[in-house]
Structure 1
Amino acid sequence: MLLLCLFSLSQSNLAQRGKKGELVGVLTSLELPDFQSKKVPKDIRPYVENMIYIPAGVFNMGDDLDTNARFYSKRVSTVASFFLSKTEIPNWLYREFCQVMIDSLGMDSAHLFLPDTLCWLENESPYTEPMASYYFSHPAYDNYPVVGVNYLQTVLFCDWLTDKVQKGLSKDSKTKGWAKMISFRLPNESEWEYAARGGLDISAYPWGESYYVYNDGGYTPKANCGAIIDTLGHIVLPADHDGYRYTSDISSFSPNGYGLYNMSGNVAEWTLDIYNPYASIFDYDLNPTFYRDTLSPKDSVSRVVKGGSFEDLPYFLSCGVRKGIMAYTQSKSIGFSVAITIFQYASQDL
Structure 2
Amino acid sequence: MGVKLWINRNKIYLSIYIGGKRWRESTGLTVSPNKEQNKAVMDMAEILRSKKEASLVAISSGLIDPAFVKITLFEYVKKESEGKSKKHPLIKGFKWLEKLTQDIKMSSITSKWFEDYQRALLEKTGLAAKTCENYASALRALFKKAVRDGVIVKDPSDGVKHIPCPESIKEFLMPEDIRKLAAEPIGGILGADVKKAFLFACCTGLRISDLKSLRWGGVSFEKKTLTKIQQKTKRAVYLPIKDEAIAFLNLLAEENPNRTDEDFIFPHVATTGTNMNQYLIEWGKRAGVRQKIGWHLARHTHATLLLESGADLYTVQKLLGHTKISTTAQYTQVTDRKKKEAIDLLPDYGIVTDTEKEI
**TM-score between both structures, scaled by the size of structure 2:** 0.23
Q: Report which of the two has the higher share of strand.
A: 1
Q: Report which of the two has the higher share of helix.
A: 2
User: Quick check: which has more Rg, 1 or 2?
Assistant: 2
**TM-score between both structures, scaled by the size of structure 1:** 0.23
